[in-house]
Every structure is written in structure tokens, then in C-alpha cells.
Amino acid sequence: MAEGVKLEIVSPERLLFSETVKSVTVPGAEGYFTVLGDHAAFMTTMKPGFITVVDNGGISHVYYVRGGFADVSPEGFTILAEEAQDIAEFDRAKIEGLIAAGLTAQQAATTADEEMRLQQEIDSWRNLLLESSVGTGATAH
């Protein structure tokens, strides 16, 4: 097995992280997954959630992402996030505002498909709040 994986976490504003690490756990659209060295190449979308990076010293670093793409290739692992920030910058009030806006939009929905899509989005934001409250700097994955 390789001695880690080259990871880059990129948001529209900046390169948030660039380092070779032991492992990375990511909120994929179908659930959390972990990438280690020599991982098979693939690309997937991400849902809002927390990325846990374990550096080569065994120390965990947690980042919040609001969706985007995760691309594993022979060159490394690139996360292109819609929004990304250190867990210390995570804003619960912002997520609560997204839930409130989603509930308002859901009440105004004109089709069952739209109502269901909004319910899934609201559930995703609620799960994110639950996950963030597991403990200081810890996440539920």
C-alpha cells in the first residue's frame, strides 16, 4: 500500500488543504466513504457534511463542506467543494436558516416532486446539525 494519499480540498475562494495524509473520510452522495493510499480511481458528488482528514502523524482534522465533487485518481484525491471551511468556522445558525427557508419553500411547493425534493434537502440539513453536535470537533461518521 502507498504511504498515504495526496489530498487537496479546494473551494471557490481558496485552496483550503494540500498535503499527503493517511486517510480521508468524505460525505459522498450515497454515504460516507474513506480513501487510503492506492485507492481505486473514481469520481462522485458530495452531500453537505464533514470531511475527516487523518494526517501521517495520526491527528484528525475536520472540515465542513457544502456539497461538490470528490475525484480520486492515481495522482491523488481532489475535493472540489461548493463551500469548505475548518470545523471551527462551522455556522449552525446558517444551517438553521437554510432549514427555515426550506420549510417555507416546501409549504409553497406546487408539485409532489418539488415537495419531496425539499423534504430531502431539509432532512439533509437536520442530519448535518445532529452530526455536528456529537461533540467538540467530532462528527458522527
Asked whether residue 15 falls in the same domain as residue 83, the answer is: yes
Asked whether residue 35 falls in the same domain as residue 79, the answer is: yes
Which residue segment(s) compose the domain that 127 sits in?
91-132
> What is the number of alpha carbons within 13 Å of residue 24 lying toward its C-beta?
28
- pLDDT > 70: percent of the chain: 93
Asked whether residue 77 falls in the same domain as residue 102, the answer is: no
Distance CA 80, CA 97 (A): 24
Q: Is residue 120 part of a domain?
A: yes
pTM: 0.78
Asked whether residue 13 falls in the same domain as residue 81, the answer is: yes
Q: Is residue 140 part of a domain?
A: no
Asked whether residue 74 falls in the same domain as residue 10, the answer is: yes
Per residue in 77-93, pLDDT (tens digit) is 999 999 998 888 888 89
User: Residue 1: what pLDDT?
Assistant: 43
